[in-house]
Amino acid sequence: MDPWASFHLGPWSGLRRERLKDERFFLERHFPAEDRDLLFLGATELLSIEEDGTSPFEVWRGFLGDVAGWSYGILAFDLKNGLNDVSSRHSAPEGVPGLFWAVPRLVLERKGQDAFVHLPNGGPAALLEEARSLLGETLPPGRQSSLEWTLCTSREAYLARARELLAHIQRGDIYEVNYCIERRAKAIGWDPFLGWERLRSLAQAPHGAFLRIADHFVLCASPESFLRFDGDQVSAEPMKGTRPRHQEHELDARLAYELRTDEKERSENVMTVDVMRNDLSRVARPGSVRVDELFAVRTHPGVHQLVSKVSATMGAGFGPVDVVRAAWPMASMTGAPKLRAMQLIDMAEDGRRGLFSGSIGWFAPDGTGDLNVVIRTLLHDAVTGTCSLSTGSALTALCDPEKEWEECQLKARSVIDAL
């Protein structure tokens, strides 16, 4: 018997997010291109591992092996430590674990105009009524005070470290490195639910997510997919290259064309594609790794992005955890060669990245799954009343550190303005 059952609830009438405020664990994923939403509610079983925990991917594999159904969770960037002879000179951030994965008590799904609920077979009948109670008119986003942000890395420090990283590129140590900075804000009394309503409606991020783990909220407006699974098929869409949008159609089209043809942006993108191809080749059926799309411009409300697509067939004996482990952390957030880039990232940045540059994802009983890249993301600690927002850009031999600094500010503004 299938461990999960699905029910059609009728037409989708909206999600009453105010009913989620007492939930300690949930994940909402938003897929505007597919006209689909998923809400994972609760945690009947959960796995929580610190960033420096022993063999996190093996423990995760064991957890998923015992789960026959829907599951969801997160992976922090610094799970890289211990994978490839990489460590960190920084202490692990408090709060959000390095790896959290859970089995929900129910999954609410919107497909177009229809609502469905997925429930464990044999579960209490009250879950069906609970799912129905979540449907209803979505309250319009209210107003709340703006957040006052403080950069953790000054412009001068950023430029100095960027030049140090460029010196490594010029010596041939690396070809590309993703360098990130963080900003923080005091957010006493700030409502993450209102923040998500605004971010979701204005950013229209193709891989957005709203997550709660106890007292920690994640508001993610990510435009980037890390890995998607469908049976033995896996695909990745590494993203490198950004341009702002413009209100005038002609200028906006010119910016998109400039992004598509810019030598520096194409160089960044193809290096990231090559790293991903290499990562997937370690767990793919021989000869199955292919580049399906190269240098495609994807347009979002605030920015244009340069995206490519790599796909493969998983090799015999390999599963999703093997693929994630082989590609972790994602090429677009590290550099090339990946190992040396990760070492230099730890040297240059002011702290660990935590969930930023990590992934939020889910798996379904039909063999599908999806993991995003955690960028354009606000992290909110409801206990300390603080918010964190990190952004970065790729440095190559062709880059100008001043322009890379501006790119970091542009990416931050795309989130801050939406909020």
- What are the residue numbers of the active site? 224, 240
β strands within 114-223, DSSP E:
114-120, 149-151, 176-186, 208-213, 216-220
Name residue 95's beta-bridge partners. none
Q: Catalogue the long-range contacts made by 402-405 (C-beta closer than 8 Å, 24 or more residues apart).
A: 402/159, 404/162, 404/179, 405/155, 405/158, 405/159, 405/162
Q: What token pair was written down for 295?
A: 């240098």
Q: 255: which 2 tokens?
A: 């910016």
SS3 (DSSP) at 382: coil
Which residue type occupies 83? L
Q: Are 175 and 335 in contact (CB under 8 A)?
A: yes
Q: Which residues contact 56 (CB under 8 A, 6 or more apart)?
A: 49, 79, 98, 99
Per the rule left: phi > 0, alpha: psi between -120 and 50, beta: everything else, 122 is: left
Integer Cα distance of 43 and 213 in angstroms: 10
Contact 360, 220 (CB under 8 A): yes
CA-CA distance, 91 to 268, in Å (whole number)?
Answer: 30
DSSP string, 341-364: HHHHHHHHSSS--TTTTSEEEEE-
Residue with token string 């460590």: 87
Contact 194, 144 (CB under 8 A): yes
Whether residue 337 contacts residue 88, with contact meaning beta carbons closer than 8 Å, is answered with no
Residue whose structure tokens are 């200028």: 251
Altogether, the residues listed in the chain come to a count of: 419
Listed in sequence order, the residues at least 6 apart from 269 whose beta carbon sits closer than 8 Å to its beta carbon are 238, 239, 240, 241, 294, 295, 306, 307, 308
